[in-house]
Structures are given as C-alpha cells and as structure tokens.
Amino acid sequence: MPVGDQKKKNRWLPLSLLATAFAGVGVVLFRGCWHRKMSWPVRSAGYCYQVCTGCGIKRLFDEELFRAYGPYSYDLDRLIAAKRDQQLTPKTIPEPDVSEHRTAS
C-alpha cells in the first residue's frame, strides 16, 4: 500500500517540530510567560541584560551581536555568575581593583 507508506513517512515531520517546540517549554514554566516582550537592554555593573515586561525575568544581552544569550533568571547575580563560569563571551570585562585603591577619605 503506497498510500499508507507515505502517511507513515509524513508523521516524522510534525514529531520533530514538536520536539523542537518542547525544548522551549522549560522557559514557559515560569508563570506561563513566554518572555516574548523583553525590555530594551539595561546596563548594570558592566553587564547588559534584558528584563521581561511580562514577568520580570532577566536574561543577559550581547550588545555587539545585539541578541540575548544564556539562561533566564530572576536573579541577575546568578546570571553574571553563570556567565563568569561558562565564559559565554571571549571578551573580558576589566574588573576595577577596588581593594587596592581604597583611599582614606
């Protein structure tokens, strides 16, 4: 039966599409928000990030590539820590040597 054979073949396409869709489900678990409306990138402590206008979750943002990257988190400190651990971008942000330059005021 050539017709039945063709049907069987076509079933793989929607299945693979579903698999791709499910990859983003973890993100949706946060208050059922898709984080589709992200704020304009905000700069803080040398890091650039976006905030979801729906639920307030944050995500790091690359100003040069002009796109968000890395995991979502409500805790910006956690995002920065994750970035430092994984070295998501080769750029190194110079860290001010605060302890050495503490002057007597």
CB nearer to Zn ion: pick between 35 and 83: 35
The span from the CA of 26 to the CA of 104, in Å, is 50
DSSP 63: T
Using DSSP's 3-state secondary structure scheme, residue 71 falls into: strand
Part of the chain binding Zn ion (CB under 5 A), chosen from 28-36, 42-50, 60-68, 92-100: 28-36
Total residues at the site for Zn ion (CB under 5 A)?
Answer: 6
DSSP 42: E
Q: Which of 27, 47, 48, 54 binds Zn ion (CB under 5 A)?
A: 54
CB nearer to Zn ion: pick between 55 and 88: 55
The span from the CA of 87 to the CA of 71, in Å, is 13
Say if CB 82 and CB 71 are below 8 A apart.
yes
Any contact of residue 52 with Zn ion (CB under 5 A)?
A: yes
Q: Which of 38, 55, 76, 82 binds Zn ion (CB under 5 A)?
A: 55
Residues that bind Zn ion (CB under 5 A): 33, 35, 52, 54-55, 57
